[in-house]
Amino acid sequence: MTLDYHAVLVFLITGIVMVCAPLVMGALFRPNNPYREKGIPYECAEDPIGGAQVRFDMRFYTTALIFIVFDAEIVLIFPWAHVFKTHPEKGLAFAAGLVFATIVFFGLLYDWAKGDLSWVKTFRNKRRVQG
């Protein structure tokens, strides 16, 4: 019974060693040469303008979340297509895919009705904000 778990123990130890060994080797062998210019943020090798704590518009976050949802949908469609191709009951596999696509479609309709897909949103006082 305990022989079944030896492989798990070997994989666990191997994983821990593969994570910790590069960290330890890096700490031992990399040069430590701190100076002020290394500590400042930069983008595309340009000097920073203004502070590093910039407030981003919420539209970027909403757009990113919607992208992640639909990206996950595409990732789940590929295994479904394989199951649909190989499953003996194609009607059941098609129904499962149709239910999934319907749920995602209603999520898209909800986002559209809520106004999250429009870049220029209408706020409480119903004025359009020009961006």
In tens digits, what is the pLDDT along the chain, a chain of 131 residues?
556 788 889 999 999 999 999 999 999 999 888 888 777 776 677 776 777 677 777 778 878 888 888 888 888 888 888 888 888 888 888 888 899 889 988 988 888 888 777 776 655 555 555 54
The per-residue pLDDT for 21 is: 97
In this structure, are residues 84 and 93 in contact, taking their beta carbons and an 8 Å threshold? yes
DSSP state of 121: -
Neighbours of 67 (CB within 10 A): 10
In this structure, are residues 105 and 94 in contact, taking their beta carbons and an 8 Å threshold? no
The per-residue pLDDT for 26 is: 94
| Domain coordinates in residue numbering, the chain | 2-39, 58-114
